[in-house]
Amino acid sequence: MSYKIVANRRAWWPVTVPVTAEDGTVGEHAFELRFILHKVDRQEELEEIVKAKMVEAVKAKEAGDDVTSSMVQRDMLKMFADDWRGVLAENEEPLVWNDENVRLLMNEPRLFDRAMVAYRLCLAGGQEIRQGN
């Protein structure tokens, strides 16, 4: 198959999250994010933007702003993903991708880190990697 250069490549990829149950057992939950597969030059730029956002957030908190970690992580995740599948509310209803729902997801333990791990695996490619995530 020939390689096709695409301006804005996107890909659905699983995000797995270890979740500790009330009885102390650890299970694994999963959902999918539609990642934006940025070009190499853009990835370098985004790394700088992420660093700057972290510094801005710390300064904002010190200044008394009500910015939260989940808000910052939401804004950062939205640079790498633009949709999801399999994210549910407590009542089992699917949640739509919007600012507040993404913030709610980012407020859950380990979610941002696991999403970034999945993004890196998605960029690396390979079915064996996808199945093991």
Bridge-partner residues for 19, per DSSP?
27
Bridge-partner residues for 30, per DSSP?
16
pTM beyond 0.85:
no
What pLDDT shows up at residue 55? 84
What pLDDT shows up at residue 126? 64
Q: Which residues of the chain have pLDDT under 70?
A: 126-133
List the beta strands (DSSP E) in 63-120.
81-85
Q: What gap in Å lies between CA 37 and CA 68, rounded to an integer? A: 27
Domain ranges of the chain: 10-132
What pLDDT shows up at residue 128? 57
H/E stretch holding 29 reads strand 26-36
